[in-house]
């Protein structure tokens, strides 16, 4: 009885609302389709873009205890999306094959502390740079290593296919068996702790973060100006100029309104540092 009354009431209310809506529409407009009568027209749903990220790269991207993907890169992309008016869905994607997933259309973009390189630009497009980086060496506290060239005869751990791998391949020779390649940077650093490699070469932000958070590992870092300055960009499928423009616009907006600087200082503590000086050669 009661639910019937309620239903009846809703029916009447709906009809009344529809009547008001029709009246408000004025004469020039055609009556909307019946399904849309009772409610205000819904805004067009926002486009959802999939974002691939190798979430084993703190503080840029990692998984928290709840399994959520978090980090500097994640917040930057979320802020860009909010500004540019699209939604994003992050998908943990192994580094090996991450660029294939973009090329094949399984991901719309990649944010993964990806260094913009001439070689990669052949097969993908990049947003404007959003972060300055460089390679950094991690060794045990008691290591004698003082510069990159000192690694020449040593066992060096890298993440396969990264710019760290590239730098070490150049110094030691690509096929040198002293290069130990790992599927993630944390795995390489664990091997350093275990004594399986003498050094690890990886992005400075990740190495500094790892060393600071693993005091038991007794690591130290060694910088070298031999390493060329790098810049991170968001990778987008080659030729998707529409998405590229959206992302660049959002990035420029979050840089202009202070959002980027706020995310930066949340993760890196200090105010925005000036861009790294060009390598002196
Ligand atoms: N910046 C380096 C590169 O582009 C390493 C990036 C690795 N990123 C990651 N999430 N594992 O090669």
Say if residue 37's pLDDT is above 70: no
Mutate to test the pocket of ligand 1, among 203, 209, 227, 234 (most ligand atoms within 8 A of CB): 203
Say if residue 226's pLDDT is above 90: yes
> What residues does ligand 1 touch, defined as CB less than 6 Å away?
54, 57, 61, 95, 112-115, 159, 162-163, 185, 203
- 109 alpha carbon to ligand 1 midpoint, in Å? 14
- CA dist 11 and 1 (Å) reads 15
Output the CA–CA distances (angstroms, integers) from residue 186 to 143, 157, 224, in the order listed: 20, 10, 21
Question: Residues 43-58: what's their mean pLDDT?
Answer: 94
Question: Residues 214-239: what's their mean pLDDT?
Answer: 97
- 103 alpha carbon to ligand 1 midpoint, in Å? 17
Say if residue 7's pLDDT is above 50: no
Q: Which two tokens stand for residue 153?
A: 């005869």
At residue 41, the pLDDT reads 78
- CA dist 253 and 272 (Å) reads 16
Output the CA–CA distances (angstroms, integers) from residue 160 to 25, 156, 187, 210, 242, in the order listed: 62, 12, 11, 18, 31
At residue 44, the pLDDT reads 81
Among the atoms of ligand 1, which is closest to the Cα of residue 185? 11
- When pLDDT is cut at 50, 70 and 90, the band that residue 271 belongs to is low
Question: Residues 47-59: what's their mean pLDDT?
Answer: 98
Say how many CA atoms lie within 13 Å of 59 toward its Cβ.
Answer: 18
At residue 43, the pLDDT reads 79
Name the residue with higher pLDDT: 270 or 250: 250
């Amino acid at each position: 009885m009661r639910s019937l009354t309620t239903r009846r009431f809703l029916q009447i209310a709906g009809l009344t609302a529809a009547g008001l809506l029709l009246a408000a529409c004025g004469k020039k407009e055609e009556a909307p389709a019946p399904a849309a009568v009772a409610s205000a027209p819904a805004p067009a749903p926002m486009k959802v873009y999939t974002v691939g990220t190798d979430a084993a790269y703190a503080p840029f991207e990692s998984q928290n205890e709840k399994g959520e993907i978090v980090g500097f890169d994640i917040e930057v992309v979320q802020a860009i999306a909010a500004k540019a008016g699209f939604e994003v869905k992050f998908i943990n994607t192994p580094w090996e094959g991450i660029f294939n997933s973009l090329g094949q259309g399984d991901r719309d973009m990649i944010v993964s502390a990806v260094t913009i390189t001439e070689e990669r630009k052949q097969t993908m497009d990049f947003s404007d740079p959003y972060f300055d980086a460089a390679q950094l060496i991690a060794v045990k506290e008691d290591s004698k290593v003082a510069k990159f060239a000192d690694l020449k005869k040593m066992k060096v751990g890298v993440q396969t296919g990264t710019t760290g791998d590239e730098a070490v391949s150049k110094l030691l020779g690509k096929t040198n068996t002293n290069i130990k390649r790992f599927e993630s940077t944390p795995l390489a650093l664990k091997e350093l702790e275990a004594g399986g490699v003498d050094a690890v070469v990886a992005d400075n932000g990740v190495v500094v973060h790892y060393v600071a958070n693993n005091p038991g590992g007794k690591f130290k870092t060694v910088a070298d100006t031999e390493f060329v300055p790098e810049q991170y960009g968001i990778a987008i499928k080659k030729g998707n100029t529409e998405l590229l423009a959206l992302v660049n616009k959002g990035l420029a907006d979050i840089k202009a309104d202070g959002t980027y600087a706020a995310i930066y200082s949340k993760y890196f503590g200090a105010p925005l540092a000036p861009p790294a000086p060009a390598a002196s050669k």
